[in-house]
Amino acid sequence: MFREFDEKAPPPFGSAERSPSPSKLREDWQDYLVPQDWHYFTAEEHGVWDTLFARQVPYLGTRIVTPFLEGIPKLGLDQPGIPELGRLNERLERLTGWRCVSVPGLVPDDAFFAMLAERCFPIGNFIRSADSLDYLEEPDCFHDIFGHVPLLAHEPVARLMQAMGRLGVAAVADGFGDTISRLYWHTVEFGLAREGGEVKILGAGLASSFGEAHFAIEADVPRPRFTLKEAAATAYRSDTFQPLYFVSDSLEVSAAELESLDLSGLKRLAP
């Protein structure tokens, strides 16, 4: 029943079309930023956000980790329409020091990780169209904001994401980008986590996807226990639903585990 949605899993970050050298990376990531131009969003585009929000929240209500749900009102994401990043950042920066920045689409992995290292999360400056609510060629602002930002207001995730950014910069520069990408994918994007004895949604790719949220929780699909070693060795799919979903012992346990990982530890995990 889940495959009726013609929905591709949105990749967390993009191709390496432009790859600044590591020594220039910290300055160059800002070259990818653009104004959000919030005033140019049409009434129809704001309506797409509202439709997606109204469809997603009732399902996630009992099926997603609690800090995600708590983040929505804390950040004012329960207000109608596409969030304006300036107003969103006023709340987010006060909570954890993270801020959202606007990008026109996918950015190269090294620039993406460099942004995370600076507690900046890239947000696509566009939203999917009303006639293709379940199809994404690349992450839009609903995926980026609704899927990711609520947990950036939760301190353990705020620390984890910055740590992954720093490690990601080093890993990409050292040829271990695939390994850090797998860890990111199997937790931040498509991970599940135990909470109160139940398996809950953790990842943004699930939180923002109507079809795959149902699939990950309800379908007859493997849900192995998350370990760094297993996740680092397991390929993911960016063109369809995942063939399996790793389940962390808890959000906090996996966040702490990933936060403490360094480059030498990452290299040891590489398959």
Give whichever of 153 and 204 is closer to Fe ion, judged by the CB atom. 204
Instruction: Compute the least distance from the CB of residue 147 to Fe ion, in Å.
Output: 6
Minimum CB distance to Fe ion, residue 78 (Å):
21
* 208 annotated active-site: yes
CA distance 19 to 67: 35
> Minimum Å distance from CB 136 to Fe ion?
10
Active site residue 143: yes
Longest dimension (CA), the chain: 51
Binding flag, residue 191, Fe ion (CB under 5 A): no
Span interacting with Fe ion, options 8-16, 50-58, 71-79, 127-135, rule CB under 5 A: 8-16
Which pair of tokens denotes residue 205?
Answer: 């790719």
46 is known as an active-site residue: no
Looking up tokens 């890239």 gives: 122
204 is an interface residue for Fe ion by CB under 5 A: yes
Residues 6+ apart with CB under 8 A from 124: 102, 103, 104, 105, 138, 139, 140, 141, 143, 144
- Determine the interface stretch with Fe ion among 63-71, 175-183, 198-206, 230-238 (rule: CB under 5 A): 198-206
Active site residue: 7, 154, 195, 208, which one?
208
Q: Which residues bind Fe ion (CB under 5 A)?
A: 12, 204
For the annotated catalytic residues, the residue numbers are 143, 148, 189, 208
